[in-house]
Structure 1
Amino acid sequence: MELTQDFEVGINERIQRDRALSEALLGEIDETLAEGEDSVAQELLRMLVVNTVGFAALSPSLSMTGDELKTALAHDAQTNPASLSDIASALKLALGVSAS
């Protein structure tokens, strides 16, 4: 089921203003990766990166360009779990969230 535009906008706005939500979503990303739900983790990572630090700011810590990171987190990308975990770790560091 696809999310409606209003719902997506509301979630995006809440991520931007609610640090606790971002931290909870990072925890959820860890869980989804552990359970092998890579596509869910990828979508959550994309949403968090877009609404927090941005691709260009996060990409140098991953030794890639902003466009490469954007491509890695695209809806149709086949990004491996190790790369998703690296992106999650870099995002945690950028947001000052302790690694779990």
Structure 2
Amino acid sequence: MDLQDQLKNLFPEHTPEDKPNTPPEKDIWMQDEPIICKYEKRKGKPITILEGYTGGDGDFKKLAKELKTKLSVGGSFKEGKIIIQGDYRDNIMMLLKEKGFKVKRVGG
């Protein structure tokens, strides 16, 4: 006897309601223009820069933290840009596309 059968025995008058499947609310503002993902070298070390986000800085900071956590890399948020240590353009573009962003690759 599984849990559903036990619940039916305990509450015979109850009929379960079907909840409509509503998509989860997105906590980050989506935009029409693509986010620019470019590659640079500073002091001989590769970095990936994301810029062109038109939403609030708080949303972009959340996105930066999430990217750094998922990629297990260091980085920062400065002057409206996300700077990730290393060349992770392909991984970042894939993660952003999964979230629903448009991404444009620039350079190399």
Is TM-score (shorter-chain normalized) higher than 0.5?
no
Structure with higher Rg: it is: 2
TM interval, shorter chain, is 0.3 to 0.5
When you count strand as a share of all residues, which structure comes out higher?
A: 2
User: TM-score when scaled to structure 1?
Assistant: 0.35
